[in-house]
Structure 1
């Protein structure tokens, strides 16, 4: 995750300095000349996600990682509302539906069958973001974005009376995050197209513990929080 944001920072700096230095200074026909003059704009996005878990343990039991997480690619779809504050700063609301799956292997349980849990999640994810853009040049405009978000996990099992003893892994319904990312607005002839990448980091503990305080699945976990990478393609 840290390597991704290191690459993001380098790309943003290189793109901005190249634009200001005149590498792309040759003028071209400007598309959507009045687009950024609007106070409100709308659109939609499609994309992919990769969710992970970060575990903090009460004590390490001989393994470097007590719980192994196998990630898989998920799918995102949602809407975009953009409000212009000043020329280079916009406020964005991007509610969406996110589908993902993580497979957990608990290394301190006895049976191989009991050590595996499939965690399928369907999130209603609502971020409120501040977008900081460079000046527009030759129909493209790099930006960085950051903000906070909340999600509702429709597959959390929070209210299920069964726990891991019956094969049910449970999470909290609500989660809060902070987000950081990077993207580029491309002004095409008919619409604006924006590929972007964001890192998403949960702030609260999402684990619903088993009834047994010494449970081999949840007894040694002090905190479990999601982190994810979103790659979205926005059309406005």
Structure 2
């Protein structure tokens, strides 16, 4: 994926290079308020804070009559970067020559994964999710509507190019959280890991405005971190060893204005 993004950016800069200097860019910089749309590639992972007693035995609380409860001890907990994508709209308000205010509501489809390794080597599969060998993987499927409010600090325009820094806050709401967290009929070690439905985050990054004749294209890279823990506790073995879970997203965006 990184190689594909590098090739795409190279082609964009090549196209800019063969254009005549001083492209109009659709005149968006001359408007006090203009609109656009965005496509995003997203990599999601958790920043994990384990509880003080995270290696204590986890004991099955709904064991069937006539057999002893299952006991497990956690050996390791880790999270790997998982891909997703988003599509969204853009409203850009001109503030000063070097500052814009941007609102970019975005619909995001992304799964977050966390892997548990038990001392026993046992694995407890989640339906539709393949665990790595020797691990138990829990995936949190999310369909988020993000509402970022960002400040864009712009450099001087040089020909068909302008660099900028961007940062701000956003609120995300998972519209599928309740449906995806329904595990009432699951046995104890087949329960799901659950996240909060509403998430506040801060994000920061950089980008480039590239001017074509009738539009402006802006490749942008950001990092977003949740302000609050996204962990939702329940009677399950997967939230028990955790103190807090923070969500971290790496976002590559293409804005068309």
TM superposition score normalised by structure 1: 0.79
CA contact (8 A) 2:40 2:87 kept: yes
Unaligned runs of 5+ in 2: 1-16, 57-72, 126-135
CA distance in 1: counterparts of 2:242 and 2:168, whole angstroms: 28
Residue in 2 aligned with 1:140? 161
CA gap of 1:83–1:160, structure 2 versus 1, over 3 A, is same
Which structure would you say has the larger Rg?
A: 2
Higher deviation after alignment, 96-105 or 66-75: 66-75
CA distance in 1: counterparts of 2:32 and 2:233, whole angstroms: 47
CA contact (8 A) 1:49 1:73 kept: yes
Shift of 1:171: 1.1
Residue in 1 aligned with 2:78? 68
Instruction: State the 4+ residue runs in structure 1 displaced beyond 6 angstroms.
Output: 62-65
TM-superposition CA deviations, 1:27-56 (whole Å, max 9, x none): 934423843121001000012000000111
Specify the SS of the correspondent of 2:213: coil
TM-superposition CA deviations, 1:88-125 (whole Å, max 9, x none): 10000000011112332122475312522222111111
Task: Give the one of 87, 93, 102 matched to 2:97.
Answer: 87
Structure 1 residues 177-188: aligned runs within 5 Å:
177-188=201-212
CA distance in 2: counterparts of 1:72 and 1:159, whole angstroms: 19
Residue in 2 aligned with 1:112? 123
Q: How many residues align?
A: 208
Shift of 1:133: 0.3
Residue in 2 aligned with 1:202? 226
TM superposition score normalised by structure 2: 0.73
CA distance in 2: counterparts of 1:164 and 1:176, whole angstroms: 32
Residue in 2 aligned with 1:234? 255
